[in-house]
Each structure stands twice: as C-alpha cells, then as structure tokens.
A and B are shown apart, each in its own frame.
Chain A
Amino acid sequence: MRKNLKILLVLFLLAGLVSTGCKKKSKEQQAKAKPAEENVIKIGAVFSVTGPASFLGQPEKNTALMVVDEINKSGGLLGKKVKLIVYDTEGQEQKAVMAVNRLIQKDKVVAIIGPSRSGTTLAVIPIVMRAKIPLISCAASRKIVQPVSERKYVFTVPQLDTFAVEKLYEYFNKKGYKKIAILTVNNGFGASGREQLKLLAPKYGIEIVADEIYGPKDTDMTAQLTKIKGLNPDAIVVWGTNPGPAVIARNRLQLGIKTPLFMSHGVASKKFIELAGKDAAEGIILPAGRLIVADQLPDTDPQKKLLLDYIAKYKARYGSEPSTFGGHAYDALHLLFEAIRRAKSTNGDKIVAALETIKNFPGTGGIYNLSPQDHEGLSKDAFVLVRIHNGNWELLEE
C-alpha cells in the first residue's frame, strides 16, 4: 500500500514540474514576446513532416521556410519581420490538434498554414474557428471549405479533386471513352478522389466498371490490374501518390495491358517518372498544375514567370525539383501576405475579409479568385492535361 503512496508523490512532483513548466514557459514567452511583439508577425505552420504523409509535409516545410526568408530579405511585411513556427503533425490528428492549440495559445500566431492532410485539417477547424485565427490548409478536400457559413476562418489552396476529375472526364468524352476502371489508394487523398470520380461519372455519361482499392504501402497490384484487364475498360484511372502509382505503372507494363492509363495530380512530379521507369510511364496522361510544365507554357501565361522563379530558387536551396505539394505552401503564404498587406493589420477578421477580396492572384496552383462564398479560389482551368513522353512531362493542351 505505501508503495503506491511513494509513486503518487513522484506523480505529484512530475505534474507540478509539468504544470509549472507550462506556466513558466508561457509566462516567460509572454514576457519575452511583449517587447518584441511590435516588430514581428508570427505565422504558424503545421505539416506532416514525418510519418506516412511525409512526402507532402517535407516539400511544404522546405518551401515555407524559403518563402519566409525571401520576404524578410525584401523588407518583411508591414515593415515587420515574419517569424514562421513549424510543427510536425506526423499525420496524426491528436498531434495536429495539440500543435494548433500550441500555436494559438503559446506562440500567439496571427494565422496558420497547413495541415498537409484533409483528416488533420478537419480535426483542427473547430479550434481555429473558436479562436478566430485564419487557417489556409494545404489539403484538397471539399469538406474543408464547405459549408462556407461554418468555415469563415478556413481557406484551402490546392486544386480540388472535383476540377481534376472534370478535366479528365472532358478528355474522356472527347476521346469517346465510356467504360472506365478506377484504382484508388486507401487514404484520405485516394478516398476523396474516388468519391468525386463516382459522383461525376453519370454527369459525363461515364460508367465505372471496376472500383478497386490498394494500400499506400502495398508492393504489388497485379491482382487488381488483372481483374480490371478482364473487364477491358476503355481507360484506367489511378488515384494516389507515390510510390503506389509507380508500382501500378510497372505492373501494367509487366502484364502487357495496353488500355490507356490516367493518373491524378498526386503524381505530378519528376520523381514519379524516375520511380516508374521511362517505358512504364510512357503515355500516361494526368491533370496537373502548371508547375511541372512551366517551361513549356506560352510566355503570355501569368503563372510562367512565378513558376520558373520558384523552381530556380527551390533547386538552388534544396538541390531537388519542387513538387506540386510544395507549391501549396508557396500559394498559402503569398495569399496570406497579400491579405495582411491589404488589411494593413494582423487581426483575424480583417485578414479573412482581405483574403475574400483577392481576385486573379497568380500562384503555383493556378489563378486564385477568392470570395466570401469561395474559400478555395481555383477553377477547372487551374489544371492542364500533361502526358509523359520519353521520360518527360509534355503539355497536352491548355
């Protein structure tokens, strides 16, 4: 019995330590922040830098750090330095909730960009709504910004799956593909893609003959492809992010399937071609932002200069090609800076009001037209169709 008392005393000590720790730190932070409050604008960022979705979070974090350095070099914002505080959510809801609360309560940020996944974004929305802190998510699910009435402080930058599917289905109608097979990954990205693919199919007179699923870490999808081959659809649509689609492209080659293969904007990066291998990737068509075909864009394209500049700077700093996911952080920050400039304040409501006035603002994802009803700001033409031809992206048509 007394043994328990001793352990409990330690617990008391531990709790005291923890609570004073939190208290002291927050008091100390307030003290420290007080004088510096005036000349620093603190912006929070939550990305899944590690864990299963690290291929989203890592490029987003790299880009965010780069963009903040850039703006600080060119005089900061409203004459103040911008301080970025980045937390890793490991793609887990609890971690994201704690991170956002920490950013709001302890770090006293004026706005937040991220999270990377739609799941973690939906988990933190109630917090930012209550705290009236604007959040610009880097995840592409419609539920994030709808219903707008309950999402006043929430925006999202990535192109919605709906537009990607519409772009594909238009192409299918043009090519006369009526029966298609879909193969989607079993995570947030794949599930929302699958939802839109099935939702919009009837509108375009398309029939989905096979609705197959694969796991994010699965190493072989020949079974699903064999089943699909048996149903000989007109086209196959794969919705997922690396490495799955690359394995599927290889399996398709191996099984000698000739049916045209379409993918999602989730694989719009050089990495995909490298993983799938030149011949397995040959001829794959997918909707994508203009980032990967920036050099092939006509000079009149408003995004061209900005994209080339982003690619050059990213390559110089990190030595590798930027990905469309990194582009989301780029757009989120620039939209936020533009809103703060227009609002000339860091108050949450003012930033939101300013954001909603931003019209044809070029970003890496497309031309943003935000409004009180549309917190996403992009449309179908944010996407272009691109094809892989001998190991390179090729602009199919605007």
Chain B
Amino acid sequence: MRLKRYADILIFALLLIAYPLIITDNYGLNVGIFALENIITVTGLNLLMGYAGQISLGHAGFVGLGAYISAILTATYHWNCWLAMITAFVLVGIVAFFVALPTLKLRGHYLAMATLGLGMILYIFFSQLVDITGGPSGFVGIPYMRFGSLTFSSYSTIYVVTAMITFVIIWLSKNLASFKAGRIFRAIHQDEEAVVALGVNTYHYKVLVFVVSAVFASIAGSLYAHTVIFISPASFGFKRSIQLVTMVMVGGMGNIWGGVTGAIFLTYLPEFLRIFEDYDIIVYGSLLILVIIFMPGGIAGAVEDIYGKFKNTGGREDR
C-alpha cells in the first residue's frame, strides 16, 4: 500500500535528477532553479489556498522576509547559511503565527484585503529599514551557500541543493495533503461549519496551514538570496504575490502536482514569451482570465477531465 502512495513522488524525483542531465547550460539551469524556488512557495500557497481555501495576496512578503533574514544573518553576522535558513523560517513562522491569529478570523474579500495589506507593510519595511536591509537600492554581498569546504557558486551545484530541498518540501506537503490534515483542509474549504460540527477546531487548522505556507515561502526566499546573492524589495512586492497566486490557480488548486505544474509553466512561459517583448503583459493578463473561465480546475483539473472522458468508466471509480 505504501509504495503505491509514493509512486508519484518517485517519478518527480526522477524528473528532478533527469533535468540537469538534459539541460546543462547555465541559462536552462538558472530558469530551473527559479522554477524550483517557485515550486516551494507555490506548494505551500496551494496547501493554504487550494486545500484549506484561505486566500493570501501578500505571500511574497514572507518570501522577502526569509530572504532578508538569511541575507542579514549570513552577510552581516557571518552565520552559517544553513543555520541562518533555519532561523529565518522559524522567525517567519512566528511572525506568520501572530499575523494569522487575527487575520484568519476573516473570510473572503476581507481576508484577501488583509493579506494584501500585510504584504504591502512588509514591503515598506524592506525599503525603509535602509541601514539593515540596504533599502530600495538592495542588499549586496550575500555569500553563496557552503557545506564544509564545498561552496555552491555554480548553477549546477545550486540546482542540486535546491532540488533536494524541493523534494523534501514536496514529500512533506504530500504527507500533509494525503493524511488526516489534508482531508480536514479540503473539508474546511468546502464547508467549514460542517467540519466545526464534527468537533474540529477549524481556526487552529487554518492558522497551522498559514504558518506552514509562510515557512515554505521563507525557505524559498533564503534559497533565492543565496542564488542571486543580491536582493531588493522590488522582487517581493504586490506584483510578485499576484504571480504566485496565479501559479496556484493556473496549475490547479487542491492538488500538489497542480501547484507544481503551475509553478513550472509560469516560470518558463515568460521566457518563451520574450519574443512578444512588450506584449507579454497582455498575454499574461488574458491567460489569467481565460484559465479561470475555461479551466477552473487549472491544468491539473483539465488533465483529469480529459483523462476521465477517455476512460469514461461508470462510477468514475478512480476519482
């Protein structure tokens, strides 16, 4: 029974290993690393939005917080990068917890607006605390990741580290999504009152998934900081939060692989759209609208429906 449950993760691992063997040039690896970092954040956001149904329009703020804490601890205080990364996601988890307490009492538009406001406030702190974060001109001189004597400065080594961390995050998310917690999140998404009536403290679960998604975002932020070794507030603003939400929606909510697909698709798409030059903003906007209207289940949903039509079994046994 266990192997069947992990078949899809093993295939994902194969994909992760195969990619750098096929794509060896720095450009391909660079886009791959950014895709992995997006997968980490989007998977956390998918648990929050797709599974538990709680929207967040400010998650780039948590990515930024993780990136800045990692940058400050390693560059200014010369900490070991792994210790800094862990401290970062613990701190971000604590901040997310206290932020979640009042915020997750809200629902619908109010929740959307509160998370958006929080993202903006984090962004403003990044650009105003000039002597700590370097302000709008950015934070220079972040060291590369190091393990003993090995320095991960080349894209291939950074890819390996990022891929390993991504795999762990996906494994954790798979566990969270497929056992008890995942069921309760999905139930909350469909009918929170009914779940309360069964004796579940849904508020506790919502805060939990919010903290988990913030911790994942922080890890992605730390990895990003050690990849580009320069960060500035511009990459953690409102526009970035919307991109992350789009990846979850386009990929397919409520399915780990939906989020992964969305992250990969929307990291590579702009690279292919470069030929459109100025028009890619129009393609992006219309893509967002078209997906919501014609593919509400996102790419994952569409795959399921197409696959379902082919097999058209009676009781849709393999739901």
Q: Mark A residues whose CB is within 8 Å of B.
A: 1-8, 10-12, 14-15, 18-23, 26, 49-50, 52, 86-88, 91-95, 97-99, 101-102, 104-106, 117-119, 122-123, 125-127, 131, 141, 143, 186-188, 190-192, 195, 213
Q: From the candidates A11, A18, A26, A190, name the one contacting B268 in the complex (CB within 8 A).
A: A18
Chain B residues in 8 Å Cβ range of A52? 234
Q: From the candidates A4, A97, A186, name the one contacting B127 in the complex (CB within 8 A).
A: A186
Smallest CB–CB gap between A130 and chain B, Å? Answer: 8
Name B's interface SS. helix
Q: From the candidates A3, A119, A131, name the one contacting B137 in the complex (CB within 8 A).
A: A119
Q: Which of chain B's residues has its CB closest to A87's CB?
A: B274
Interface residues on chain B, number (Cβ under 8 Å): 60
A94 to B34, Cβ gap below 8 A? yes
Once A7-B300, A11-B15, A191-B130 are accepted as A-B contacts, the answer to whether A92 and B234 lie under 8 Å apart by CB is yes
- List the 3 closest pairs (A to B, CB-CB), nearest first: A105-B27, A119-B232, A7-B257
User: Which of the 9-residue segments B3-11, B72-80, B111-119, B207-215 touches chain A?
Assistant: B3-11
Once A10-B299, A102-B271 are accepted as A-B contacts, the answer to whether A4 and B8 lie under 8 Å apart by CB is yes
A-B contact pairs, 13 of them (CB 8 A): A3-B318, A7-B258, A15-B15, A22-B23, A92-B235, A93-B234, A98-B27, A118-B138, A119-B137, A119-B230, A122-B137, A122-B140, A191-B137
Smallest CB–CB gap between B4 and chain A, Å? Answer: 6
Q: Which of chain B's residues has its CB closest to A88's CB?
A: B277
Give bound CA distance, A119 to B134, whole Å.
11
Chain B residues in 8 Å Cβ range of A95? 270
Smallest CB–CB gap between B55 and chain A, Å? Answer: 23
A49 to B278, Cβ gap below 8 A? yes
User: Which of the 9-residue segments B96-104, B187-195, B259-267, B287-295 touches chain A?
Assistant: B259-267
B27 to A12, Cβ gap below 8 A? no
Smallest CB–CB gap between B266 and chain A, Å? Answer: 12
- Judge whether B164 is part of the interface by a CB distance below 8 angstroms: no
- Judge whether B256 is part of the interface by a CB distance below 8 angstroms: yes
B137 to A118, Cβ gap below 8 A? yes
Give bound CA distance, A95 to B273, whole Å.
12
B261 to A14, Cβ gap below 8 A? yes
B265 to A3, Cβ gap below 8 A? no
- Judge whether B176 is part of the interface by a CB distance below 8 angstroms: no
- Judge whether B255 is part of the interface by a CB distance below 8 angstroms: yes
Once A8-B8, A10-B303, A187-B136 are accepted as A-B contacts, the answer to whether A101 and B229 lie under 8 Å apart by CB is no
Chain B residues in 8 Å Cβ range of A192? 137
Give bound CA distance, A141 to B230, whole Å.
15
- Judge whether B30 is part of the interface by a CB distance below 8 angstroms: yes
- B26, B278, B304, most chain A CB atoms within 10 A: B26
Smallest CB–CB gap between B221 and chain A, Å? Answer: 12
B28 to A143, Cβ gap below 8 A? no
- B27, B235, B319, most chain A CB atoms within 10 A: B27
- Judge whether B31 is part of the interface by a CB distance below 8 angstroms: yes
Smallest CB–CB gap between B217 and chain A, Å? Answer: 15
- Judge whether B110 is part of the interface by a CB distance below 8 angstroms: no
Give bound CA distance, A227 to B134, whole Å.
26
Once A14-B264, A92-B235 are accepted as A-B contacts, the answer to whether A3 and B228 lie under 8 Å apart by CB is no
- A7, A97, A186, most chain B CB atoms within 10 A: A7
Q: Which of chain A's residues has its CB closest to B139's CB?
A: A122
Contacts A22-B27, A101-B27 aside, 18 further interface pairs with beta carbons under 8 A come to A5-B11, A6-B304, A11-B257, A15-B18, A19-B18, A22-B23, A92-B239, A92-B240, A94-B34, A98-B31, A101-B30, A102-B271, A105-B25, A122-B138, A126-B230, A143-B140, A191-B136, A191-B137
Chain B residues in 8 Å Cβ range of A191? 127, 130, 135-137
- Judge whether B19 is part of the interface by a CB distance below 8 angstroms: yes
Interface string of B215-233 (1 = CB under 8 A from A): 0000000000000111110
Smallest CB–CB gap between A21 and chain B, Å? Answer: 8
B5 to A49, Cβ gap below 8 A? no
Give bound CA distance, A192 to B229, whole Å.
20
- Judge whether B198 is part of the interface by a CB distance below 8 angstroms: no
Chain B residues in 8 Å Cβ range of A4? 8, 255-257
Give bound CA distance, A7 to B30, whole Å.
25
Give bound CA distance, A3 to B18, whole Å.
23
A12 to B11, Cβ gap below 8 A? yes
Chain A residues in 8 Å Cβ range of B304? 3, 6-7
Give bound CA distance, A6 to B305, whole Å.
11
Give bound CA distance, A20 to B271, whole Å.
15
Q: Which of chain A's residues has its CB closest to B22's CB?
A: A19
Chain A residues in 8 Å Cβ range of B23? 19, 22-23
Smallest CB–CB gap between B138 and chain A, Å? Answer: 5
